């Protein structure tokens, strides 16, 4: 033995043929791919109808796409023996289902490799198909089918969900047809500090009926386990949750509350801009020049930014913008307070002030106050439910946009939903275990 740390070369073990019920009998290396000639280990000579011993009757060749070796596409050229029963004249072939599913081109190891490449490595289907040396549709169908069977259809996937996040997402940016879907997120790991959020489902449309129907389709045990639902200001989601899971507490997260206040500030600035200048914002206009500074928290402003704000707010015609900016800053300050009890009191005071007598000239503040008053319970519930935020939902929306870009867009919504679930459904740890 020349070296005790090495064994004799074993092509079957190196290429992973043993688990497929095959053994290599030859090899050929082409410029753009490799070919392994194989035969089936199991004879399978017994008649499938009467059980008699069959008579060999030639062979046929089945080409199977295998895991690329050294990133070179690898084809298994499997010689399959045919048999004929001398009693009932039945003709059959050796069983190759261990190597590949019937009427498929990919070996079982190649399917798992492609699934791992898409889910864990976030490779595009086109890139995976190029590495395997086969067609895009072949890989796409195999990945979606395997991902659905092994991961998405797992009955235990929804176990332990206690905190839901719901939001809308634009899946198509082309004209025509419905471009919105409702995304349902599991926020339980985020609240418990055990991991990131994960996508549970995507449903076409955005309405109360869509979310209500999805909840109604789930098991009663799942609905009974939901404690909190994080959502934006859309009342349809709140109504659907109240009807289907009445025990769950609705929480309007800080992201959307601050966004509402910021939108009110922008509308006020634009209105005063039009009233004072007679046109939309242009370079050199005072309000247009501070449009980004207005959205910055007061504690983060530099001296130069403070001077710019003071010079603009000094004008009487900008009083409405100054008042709306003050409301925006009070809301931001409340959410930045590390003392949750004190922060809740701060925000409650803002909502109370907005519900009182507000000058009629502050139309945007009046609209904001009505919204916050109507959803005050949901807004303040955030401080009693630490870790409950729709921020992770927005993060997953960002991941879905990245996926759409990597795929150069989707035309089939069903495929888009399956690819989104595989990408952000939290399957990576499970797939790592299966690939060992």
| Token pair belonging to 229 | 């639902």
Do 173 and 126 have their domain in common? Answer: no
> Are 62 and 75 in contact, with CB atoms under 8 Å apart?
no
Do 189 and 288 have their domain in common? Answer: no
Do 372 and 394 have their domain in common? Answer: no
Per the domain annotation, does 193 fall within a domain? yes
Q: Is residue 337 exposed (0-12), middle (13-18) or buried (19+ Cβ within 10 Å)?
A: middle
What is the chain's alpha carbon radius of gyration, rounded to the nearest angstrom?
A: 31
Do 393 and 380 have their domain in common? Answer: no
| Token pair belonging to 15 | 């290429």
What is the domain range of residue 282?
254-384
- Alpha-carbon gap, residue 84 to 78, rounded angstroms: 20
Q: Which residue has the tokens 């709140």?
A: 238
Do 48 and 106 have their domain in common? Answer: yes
Per the domain annotation, does 219 fall within a domain? yes
E strand residue ranges, 192-248: 198-204, 228-231
Per the domain annotation, does 280 fall within a domain? yes
Do 231 and 184 have their domain in common? Answer: yes
Q: How many CB atoms lie within 10 A of CB 93?
A: 15
Q: Output the pLDDT for position 1.
A: 47
Do 18 and 143 have their domain in common? Answer: yes
- Alpha-carbon gap, residue 25 to 203, rounded angstroms: 50
CA 401, 407, 410, 415 dihedral sign is negative
Dihedral angle of Cα 274, 279, 285, 291, to the nearest 10 degrees: 60
Per the domain annotation, does 4 fall within a domain? no
Return the ∠ at Cα 388 (arms to 262 and 214), rounded to 5°.
95
Per the domain annotation, does 158 fall within a domain? no
Kindly give the confidence (pLDDT) of every residue in the chain, 436 residues in length, as a single tens digit, with 9 standing for 90 and above: 456 677 777 888 888 898 999 999 999 998 889 999 999 998 888 888 887 888 888 899 999 999 998 889 999 999 999 999 888 888 888 999 999 999 899 999 999 999 999 999 989 999 999 999 999 999 999 999 999 998 999 888 999 999 999 988 888 877 766 788 999 999 999 888 888 899 999 999 989 999 999 999 999 999 999 999 998 888 899 999 999 999 999 998 888 899 999 999 999 999 999 999 998 888 888 999 999 999 999 989 999 999 999 999 999 999 999 999 999 999 999 999 999 999 999 999 999 999 888 999 999 999 999 999 999 999 999 998 876 777 788 788 888 888 888 776 778 888 889 999 999 998 988 877 765 5
Q: Output the pLDDT for position 406.
A: 74
Do 189 and 137 have their domain in common? Answer: no
Per the domain annotation, does 114 fall within a domain? yes
Do 330 and 233 have their domain in common? Answer: no
Do 249 and 398 have their domain in common? Answer: yes
pTM metric for this prediction: 0.81
Do 22 and 145 have their domain in common? Answer: yes
In angstroms, what CA-CA distances link 207 with 269, 368, 418?
A: 31, 22, 21
Q: How many separate domains does the chain show?
A: 3
Q: Output the pLDDT for position 55.
A: 87
Tell me which of 132, 152, 172 is where a domain ends.
Answer: 152
Phi, psi of 251 (to 5 degrees): -130, 125
Q: Is residue 218 exposed (0-12), middle (13-18) or buried (19+ Cβ within 10 Å)?
A: middle
CATH of the domain at 231: 3.30.420
Per the domain annotation, does 182 fall within a domain? yes
3 state SS of 23: strand
> Rounded to 5, what percent of the chain is helix, strand, coil?
50, 20, 35
> Are 184 and 197 in contact, with CB atoms under 8 Å apart?
no
Q: Output the pLDDT for position 53.
A: 85
Return the ∠ at Cα 166 (arms to 161 and 172), rounded to 5°.
125
- Alpha-carbon gap, residue 349 to 366, rounded angstroms: 15
Per the domain annotation, does 25 fall within a domain? yes
- Alpha-carbon gap, residue 227 to 241, rounded angstroms: 11
Do 184 and 261 have their domain in common? Answer: no
| Token pair belonging to 350 | 């803002």
3 state SS of 110: helix
In angstroms, what CA-CA distances link 383 with 98, 234, 306, 338?
A: 55, 20, 31, 11
> Are 47 and 54 in contact, with CB atoms under 8 Å apart?
yes
Q: Which residue has the tokens 């370079």?
A: 283
In angstroms, what CA-CA distances link 310 with 62, 95, 263, 303, 305?
A: 79, 82, 21, 11, 9
Tell me which of 346, 367, 384 is where a domain ends.
Answer: 384
């Amino acid at each position: 033995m020349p070296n005790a740390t090495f064994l004799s070369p074993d092509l079957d073990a190196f290429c992973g043929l043993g688990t497929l019920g095959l053994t290599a009998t030859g090899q050929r290396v082409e410029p753009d791919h490799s070919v392994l000639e194989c035969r089936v280990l199991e004879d399978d000579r017994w008649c499938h109808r009467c059980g008699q011993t069959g008579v060999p009757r030639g062979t046929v060749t089945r080409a199977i796409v295998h895991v690329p070796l050294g990133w070179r596409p690898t084809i298994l050229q499997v010689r399959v023996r045919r048999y004929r029963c001398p009693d009932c004249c039945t003709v059959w072939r050796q069983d190759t289902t261990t190597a590949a599913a019937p009427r498929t081109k990919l070996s079982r190891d190649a399917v798992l490799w492609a699934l791992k490449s898409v889910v864990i490595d976030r490779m595009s289907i086109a890139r995976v198909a190029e590495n395997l040396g086969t067609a895009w549709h072949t890989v796409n169908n195999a990945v979606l089918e395997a991902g659905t069977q092994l991961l998405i259809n797992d009955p235990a996937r929804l176990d332990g969900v206690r905190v839901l996040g719901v939001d809308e997402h634009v899946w198509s940016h082309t004209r025509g047809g419905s471009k919105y879907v409702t995304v349902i997120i599991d926020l339980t790991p985020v609240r418990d500090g055990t991991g990131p959020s994960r996508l549970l489902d995507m449903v076409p449309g955005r309405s109360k009926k869509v979310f209500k129907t999805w909840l109604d389709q789930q098991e009663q045990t799942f609905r009974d386990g939901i404690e909190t639902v994080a959502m934006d200001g859309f009342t349809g989601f709140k109504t659907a949750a109240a009807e289907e899971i009445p025990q769950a507490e609705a929480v309007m997260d800080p992201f959307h509350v601050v966004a509402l206040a910021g939108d009110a500030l922008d509308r006020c600035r634009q209105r005063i801009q039009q009233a004072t200048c007679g046109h939309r914002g242009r370079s050199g206009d005072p309000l247009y020049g501070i449009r980004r500074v207005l959205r910055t928290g007061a504690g983060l402003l530099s001296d130069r930014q403070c001077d710019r704000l003071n010079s603009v707010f000094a004008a009487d015609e900008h009083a409405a913008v100054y008042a709306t900016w003050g409301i925006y800053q009070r809301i931001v300050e409340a959410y930045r307070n590390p003392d949750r009890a004190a922060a809740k009191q701060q925000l409650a005071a803002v909502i109370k002030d907005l519900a009182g007598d507000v000058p009629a000239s502050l139309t945007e503040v009046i609209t904001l106050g009505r919204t916050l008053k109507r959803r005050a319970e949901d807004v303040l519930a955030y401080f009693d439910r630490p870790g409950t935020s729709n921020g992770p939902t927005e993060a997953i929306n960002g991941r879905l946009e990245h996926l759409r870009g990597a795929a150069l867009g989707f035309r089939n919504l069903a495929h888009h939903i399956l690819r989104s679930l595989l990408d952000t459904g939290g399957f990576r740890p499970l797939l790592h275990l299966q690939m060992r």
